[in-house]
């Protein structure tokens, strides 16, 4: 359940950036190589924000597929399992190019 | 707040009865760009911890595993072997109780316990601020090696840097061959994997080759040491790994 402490970190970032304005939605990008469960995150969001000014806000999670690039043949492979093998030459000397994101991208705030 | 993205359009009057707005909000919504990594705060603190370790000439190792894989039992052997040649400090993470910290008593190591219970039922991992809070109770300047024994958990600790230089993972062969595929983040982040309880191999339907195939799939080049806290197998090699990572 690290989603709970993660939500507290998100709250800190949101409050700092919203600077007192009403927050309607918080947009995140979560890479699929992260062991962060979007549904759990959304549940924890309501839990940590109960009775706070963020109680009415929603957490919108965009899941980012994982992709690797092979250092031997330069092919790019989108992977659905965490197996780091080039889809083209089966090489294992690969680098992860997407899938490890964990970002707060944008906030939807009430216009003043 | 320089981060705010200013809209040039339509900052005019918004009427409650505005027919064009079906959001149910009394005012319009403005989207601002933030682009902050969620772990920035933790990672900043981890960097501060690492700077303190570097300044004191201490190598920090984050020791992770599932519950019951044998971290503490292995650590007892480790401390016994290193006693007198490497000065070791331990940060011991535990949701509740000091049982593991007590088990490490008497081996000449400085132990700082963190209980992660926090009213929500306890954190499942150590993060950088928690480790920082444990540092004042350790004589860093008098240490060579700091082992952070994380909370037993294959998921959460992998996501949080605590300021370590290297990550070591203890895996017990009683956990099954498929674990690297189920918990790839931790297996991938490890700089060494200790394959523990290896003395049980003759008694289990455990396919060691299948495990290594799975491990290589997620972390192709990770070094592996087969260990047993019961027989002491591999402990010397593990201590060499720890010692070789020490600062000159």
* Mutation target among B28, B36, B114, B123 for the A interface, most CBs of A within 10 A: B36
Partners of B32 in the beta sheet? A107
pLDDT tens digits, residue range B162-194?
A: 999 999 999 999 999 999 999 999 999 999 999
Whether A90 has its CB under 8 Å from any CB of chain B: the answer is: no
Contact A24 B36 (CB under 8 A): no
d(CA A18, CA A49) in angstroms, rounded, equals: 15
pLDDT tens digits, residue range A25-44?
A: 999 999 999 888 899 999 99
Is the pLDDT reported for residue B29 higher than 50?
A: yes
Quote the pLDDT of residue B156: 87
Report the pLDDT averaged over residues B225-235: 96
pLDDT tens digits, residue range B87-118?
A: 999 999 877 777 777 787 778 899 998 877 76
Name the A residues in 17-76 with CB < 8 Å from any B CB: 17, 19, 24-25, 28, 33-36
Domains assigned to chain A: 2-65+98-109 (3.30.2320.50)
Residue B12 confidence class, pLDDT cut points 50, 70, 90? very low
> Whose CA is closest to B39, among B184, B159, B183?
B159
Look up the CATH number of domain B40-241: 3.40.50.300
Tell me the chain A residues in contact with residue B36 when contact means C-beta distances shorter than 8 Å: 13, 17, 103-104
Contact A105 B127 (CB under 8 A): no
Report the pLDDT averaged over residues B135-144: 95
Q: In the 3-class helix/strand/coil scheme, how is chain A assigned residue by residue?
A: CHHHHHHHHHHHHHHHHHCCCCEEEEEEEEECCCCCCHHHHHHHHHHHHCCCCCCCCEEEEEEECEEEEECCCCCEEEECCCCCCCCCCCCCCEEEEECCCEEEEEEEEECC
Is the pLDDT reported for residue B4 higher than 80?
A: no
Quote the pLDDT of residue B242: 95
* Least Cα separation, residue A56 to chain B (angstroms): 11
Q: What is the mean pLDDT of chain B?
A: 87
Quote the pLDDT of residue A2: 82
Residue B21 confidence class, pLDDT cut points 50, 70, 90? low
Tell me the chain B residues in contact with residue A6 when contact means C-beta distances shorter than 8 Å: 38
Question: Residue B136 gets which letter from DSSP?
Answer: G
Contact B218 A102 (CB under 8 A): no
Is the pLDDT reported for residue B40 higher than 50?
A: yes
> Whose CA is closest to B49, among B186, B161, B217?
B161
* Least Cα separation, residue B84 to chain A (angstroms): 38
Count of A-B CB contacts under 8 Å: 107
pLDDT tens digits, residue range A43-101?
A: 999 999 999 999 999 999 999 999 999 999 999 999 988 888 899 999 888 999 999 99
Quote the pLDDT of residue A48: 93
Q: What do you get for the CA distance between the two ends of chain A, in Å? A: 36
The token duo for B114 is 């963190």
Q: What is the percentage of chain B residues whose pLDDT exceeds 90?
A: 67
Question: Residue B150 gets which letter from DSSP?
Answer: -
Is the pLDDT reported for residue B15 higher than 70?
A: no
d(CA B102, CA B64) in angstroms, rounded, equals: 19
């Amino acid at each position: 359940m690290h989603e709970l402490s993660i939500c507290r970190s998100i709250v800190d970032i949101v409050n700092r950036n919203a600077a007192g304005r009403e927050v309607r939605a918080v947009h995140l990008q979560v890479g699929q190589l992260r062991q962060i469960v979007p549904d759990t995150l959304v549940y924890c969001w309501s839990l940590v924000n109960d009775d706070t000014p963020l109680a009415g806000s929603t957490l919108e999670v965009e899941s980012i597929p994982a992709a690797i690039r092979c250092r031997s043949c330069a092919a790019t492979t989108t992977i659905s399992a965490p197996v780091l093998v080039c889809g083209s030459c089966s090489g294992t000397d690969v680098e992860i190019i997407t899938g490890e994101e964990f970002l707060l991208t944008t906030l939807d705030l009430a216009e003043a | 707040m320089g981060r705010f993205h200013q809209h040039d359009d339509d900052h005019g009057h918004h009427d409650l009865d505005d027919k064009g707005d079906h959001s149910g909000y009394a005012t319009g919504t403005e989207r601002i760009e933030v682009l902050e990594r969620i772990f920035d705060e933790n990672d900043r603190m981890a960097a501060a911890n690492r700077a303190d370790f570097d300044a004191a000439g201490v190598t920090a190792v984050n020791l992770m595993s599932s519950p019951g894989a044998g971290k503490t039992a292995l650590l007892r052997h480790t401390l016994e072997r290193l006693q007198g040649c490497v000065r070791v400090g331990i940060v011991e993470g535990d949701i509740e109780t000091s049982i593991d910290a007590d088990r490490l008593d008497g081996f000449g190591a400085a132990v700082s316990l963190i209980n992660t219970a926090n009213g929500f039922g306890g954190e499942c991992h150590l993060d950088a601020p928690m480790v920082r809070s444990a540092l004042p109770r350790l004589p860093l300047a008098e240490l060579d090696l700091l082992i952070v024994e994380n909370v037993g958990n294959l998921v959460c600790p992998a996501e949080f840097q605590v300021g370590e230089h290297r990550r070591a993972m203890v895996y017990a062969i009683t956990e099954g061959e498929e674990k690297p595929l189920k918990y790839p983040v931790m297996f991938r982040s490890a700089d060494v994997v200790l394959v523990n309880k290896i003395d049980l191999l003759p008694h289990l339907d455990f396919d060691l080759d299948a495990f290594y195939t799975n491990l290589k799939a997620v972390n192709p080049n990770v070094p592996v040491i087969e260990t047993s806290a019961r027989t002491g197998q591999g402990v010397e090699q593990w201590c060499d790994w720890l010692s070789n990572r020490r600062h000159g």
